């Protein structure tokens, strides 16, 4: 039987009062077919990234004349879409990725969720979608996590990956911003993003394809950017590489990002360098957190344009000591090898670098509540 309940699933006022007030506006209609304890335990046992989903999803609808309405949590399941739904034709869609971590005392926390909410609003602006208020974003995540609390995994390095997304739901084939939009949050228990744990990955630096161009949507987290990265990723995989690094679309000279991850270099003098935000690079929450942690450790932190030629010479001459990639899903992932049409270089001795491992450890210690949250980054959801 489907029952509609008051939202009483979580402890009172663990986010700001404003967010808790919005959370109270959500109706929660529980699924009539929840996974049994046994089924859930089976699904929570080493889930492959992005393959397992919880019992419910959060949803808010938008209409141009009404604004954001109908806040609800409902049974997870397929969406019924008219074949003319705008997103299916013109790709007016954006998304986010963040994780909920269970701490030793059983509480559940998100890492800097306001940053994801703010980025979703920036992405919305670029894709001509309506801005969702930060408090609605936070409340939707919190109510979903509270409803599906039993799905937060507890194994080491596991978390509940939250995927908020927004799309043009109006059935209309004219090319203009849609008058109807849906915002949803789904949740996926996850372990490591890369099979094999924290092993160095190999990267193909692509000089042929770009994921974004000047004035394009590179800084927005929209599906189209990821679609553009699939063919290069497939071709790199066929050559035996794990990931692709893209160069800037304007000059084809400077490192940008990996499509789903930002990239960092650690130099032989200990300084930490990453491509500056040019408008075609995604501003990662993990990226900005690492910049802060590295600076806390007294490292020189440099955001600048990094020519590929400098990276290649630096790898060969020893000036570049470590390379790592970072993102919500991938956390901090060491890079062991970089290659392109004209070069093939091992990073250091091919093993994870010292700072790479230290930063990963510190970041995850904060996220899992194993060390004090000195920057006030964590938000308790349940």
Instruction: State the residues that interact with ligand COI by CB under 6 A.
Output: 97, 260, 327-329
Please classify residue 177 by burial: count the beta carbons closer than 10 Å to its beta carbon, then call 0-12 exposed, 13-18 middle and 19+ buried.
Answer: middle
CA distances from 23 to 111, 281, 378 (A): 19, 33, 18
Q: Which is nearer to ligand COI, 97 or 200 (CB)?
A: 97
Q: Which residues face 160 on adjacent strands?
A: 100, 189
| Percentages of the chain per state (helix, strand, coil), in multiples of 5 | 25, 30, 45
Query: Which residues neighbour 106 within 8 Å (Cβ) at sequence distance 6 or greater?
Result: none
Q: What angle do CA 373, 378, 380 make, to 5 degrees?
A: 125
Report the alpha-carbon distance of residue 290 to residue 272 in Å, rounded: 10
Residue with CB nearest ligand COI?
A: 97
CB of 119: closest distance to ligand COI in angstroms? Answer: 11
What lies within 8 Å, CB to CB, of 361 at 6+ separation is none
- The residue (of 84 and 237) whose beta carbon lies closer to ligand COI is 237
CB of 261 to ligand COI, least distance (A): 7
Looking at the Cβ atoms of 74 and 243, the one nearer to ligand COI is 243
Beta-bridge partner residues of 225: none
Nearer to ligand COI, 260 or 314 (CB): 260
Nearer CB in complex with ligand COI: 320/332: 332
For the bound state, the minimum distance from the C-beta of residue 320 to ligand COI, rounded and expressed in Å, comes to: 24
The span from the CA of 174 to the CA of 263, in Å, is 39
Shortest distance, position 328 Cβ to ligand COI, whole Å: 4
Strand, coil or helix: 155: coil
**Smallest Cα–Cα separation from 75: which of 52, 104, 53, 49?**
53
Show Cβ contacts of residue 234 under 8 Å, excluding neighbours closer than 6 positions: none
Is 329 or 355 the residue whose CB approaches ligand COI more closely? Answer: 329
Which residue number, 209 or 343, has a Cβ lying nearer to ligand COI?
209
Q: What is the DSSP string of 317-374?
A: HTSEEEEEEEETTTEEEEEEEEEETTEEEE-TTSSPPHHHHHHHHHHHHHHTTSS--T
Give residue 315's Cα distance to chain centre. Answer: 29
Rounded to whole angstroms, the maximal C-alpha distance in the chain is 67
> At closest approach, how far in Å is the CB of 327 from ligand COI?
4
User: Using an 8 Å Cβ cutoff, are 157 and 191 in contact?
Assistant: yes
What's the min distance (Å) between Cβ of 163 and ligand COI? Answer: 8
Q: What is the dihedral of CA 9, 10, 11, 13, to 10 degrees?
A: -120
CB of 236 vs ligand COI, minimal distance in Å:
16
- Choice between 26 and 368, CB closer to ligand COI: 368
How far is residue 265's CA from residue 358's CA, in Å, rounded to a whole number? 14
Smallest distance, ligand COI to C-beta of residue 10, A: 24
CB of 218 to ligand COI, least distance (A): 14
Closest CB to ligand COI among 97 and 352? Answer: 97
Min CB(177)–ligand COI separation in Å: 24
Is 369 in a helix, a strand, or coil? coil
User: 194 vs 343, which CB is nearer to ligand COI?
Assistant: 194
């Amino acid at each position: 039987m489907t029952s509609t309940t008051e939202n009483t699933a979580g402890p009172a006022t663990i986010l700001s009062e404003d967010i808790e007030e919005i959370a109270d506006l959500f109706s929660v209609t529980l699924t009539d077919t929840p996974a049994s304890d046994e089924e859930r335990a089976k699904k929570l046992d080493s889930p492959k990234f992005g393959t397992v989903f919880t019992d419910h999803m959060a949803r808010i609808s938008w209409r141009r004349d009404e604004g954001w309405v109908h806040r609800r949590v409902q049974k997870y399941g397929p969406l019924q879409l008219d074949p003319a739904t705008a997103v299916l034709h013109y790709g007016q869609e954006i998304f986010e990725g963040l994780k909920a971590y269970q701490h030793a005392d059983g509480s559940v926390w998100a890492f800097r969720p306001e940053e994801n909410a703010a980025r979703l609003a920036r992405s919305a602006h670029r894709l001509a979608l309506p801005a969702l208020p930060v408090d609605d974003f936070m409340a939707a995540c919190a109510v979903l996590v509270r409803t599906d609390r039993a799905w937060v995994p507890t194994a080491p390095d596991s978390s509940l990956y939250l995927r908020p997304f927004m799309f043009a739901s109006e059935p209309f084939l004219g090319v203009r911003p849609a008058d109807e939009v849906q915002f949803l949050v789904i949740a996926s228990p996850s372990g490591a993003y890369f099979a094999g744990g924290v092993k160095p990955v190999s990267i193909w630096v692509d000089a042929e394809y770009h994921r974004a161009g000047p004035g394009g949507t590179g800084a927005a987290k929209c599906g189209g950017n990821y679609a553009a990265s699939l063919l290069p990723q497939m071709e790199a995989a066929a050559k035996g590489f794990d990931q692709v690094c893209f160069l800037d679309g304007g000059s084809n000279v400077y490192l940008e990002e990996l499509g789903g991850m930002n990239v960092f270099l650690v130099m032989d003098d200990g300084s930490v360098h990453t491509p500056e935000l040019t408008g075609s690079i995604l501003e990662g929450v993990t990226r900005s957190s690492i910049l802060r942690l590295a600076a806390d450790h007294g490292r020189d932190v440099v955001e600048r344009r990094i020519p590929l030629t400098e990276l290649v010479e630096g790898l060969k001459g020893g000036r570049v000591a470590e390379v790592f990639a970072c993102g919500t899903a991938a956390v901090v992932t060491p890079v062991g090898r970089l290659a392109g049409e004209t070069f093939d270089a091992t990073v250091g001795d091919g093993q994870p670098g010292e700072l790479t491992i230290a930063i990963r450890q510190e970041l995850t210690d904060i996220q899992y509540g194993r060390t004090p949250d000195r920057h006030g980054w964590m938000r308790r959801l349940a």
